[in-house]
Amino acid sequence: MERSADWLKQAKRDLERAGLDLKHQFYEWACFTSQQAAEKALKAVYQKTNRSVRGHSVLGMLSGLKESFPVPDELVHMGKFLDRYYIEGRYPNGFPEGSPMDYFDEKMAREAVDASGEIIRFCEDILGRL
């Protein structure tokens, strides 16, 4: 069953949540949730194009789309830094000491939310052409 609309809908909801986390200064969660939103938007594209995808790497998914769609270098860069937030934003053992909340700030969270929004728009553009 093709469920790209469901994946995209949840991606947008996750991005909305990331914005709330940013607003309420849960910066580590804003970064993680931004990564999740981008991942789900990309999985929507994979669903719609009948491609198999496993894992959680935004960079990996963007790279896999390069064969069929022009993926801007800036989005690739965004995928690289969003992927860092998949584990580091949630687990203390991602750092030598302290908790994730000690390592994230407003600037990082804002950049993550913005990057995720760009990736979602990129995916919406592809989905709108299919």
pLDDT at 81: 95
Nearby residues of 12 by Cβ (< 8 Å), 6 or more positions away: 37, 41, 120
pLDDT at 112: 98
Q: In whole angstroms, how large is the CA radius of gyration of the chain?
A: 14
Distance of CA 62 to the CA centre of its chain: 11
Per-block average pLDDT, block size 10, for the chain (130 residues)?
Answer: 96 98 98 98 98 96 96 98 94 94 98 98 97
Question: 94, 88, 68, 64: which is closest to 76 by C-alpha?
Answer: 64
Q: How far apart are CA 78 and CA 26, in angstroms?
A: 20
pTM: 0.96
pLDDT at 64: 97
Contact between 100 and 63 (Cβ < 8 Å): no
Contact between 53 and 64 (Cβ < 8 Å): yes
pLDDT at 54: 92
23: how many CB neighbours lie within 10 A of its CB?
A: 11
Report the chain's mean pLDDT, rounded to a whole number.
Answer: 97
Contact between 71 and 62 (Cβ < 8 Å): yes
Contact between 9 and 91 (Cβ < 8 Å): no
- The structural domains of the chain, with segments of one domain joined by +, span 4-129
pLDDT at 26: 98
Residue-wise pLDDT for 16-38, tens only, equals 999 999 999 999 999 999 999 99
Contact between 49 and 13 (Cβ < 8 Å): no
CATH 3.40.1360.10 fits 4-129, yes or no: no
